[in-house]
Structure 1
């Protein structure tokens, strides 16, 4: 699953999200620089939340929630919820 979005108005930043559901590699990058880079094999929790900040002058907090299904998670789509400054902005499914 891959998606990208822009955060900020006067100081825009590009956030790229990439998760290989079968290989387990998850990368979140801001302006091409990884802020999260992990290898996920198994998880007992259904929801994993990634929090990070973007910007220098125009600072924003970003959270991405990865929600996996209870059964056969490697073969079913996950849900990804994007929050910017605590406000839900968008939902991806895939």
Structure 2
């Protein structure tokens, strides 16, 4: 019989992964935008678009396989929470580092 991870562990793993990915991505994008002279609003919009694309497979799973809701829901919740925290806190870090 296969061992399965509980939903809270899946949710935590997805949240930490998204937090690290989008936190680092946002700070690097702000540094790159500063060198190129781009507006910070463009970086924010690109970060939101990347977060939606990152969460898209779980949204499709949730909409197409309604009977297997548990795993897709836990992954989607974790990714959304991690992306939201990263996209909220990363501009603060970028500002403290002097990129904004």
Please say whether Structure 1 and Structure 2 have the same fold, judged by a TM-score greater than 0.5. Answer: no
Higher relative contact order (CA 8 A, sep 6+): 2
Higher Cα Rg, which structure: 2
Question: Which structure: greater strand fraction?
Answer: 1
Question: Which structure: greater helix fraction?
Answer: 2
Q: TM-score, normalised by structure 2?
A: 0.25
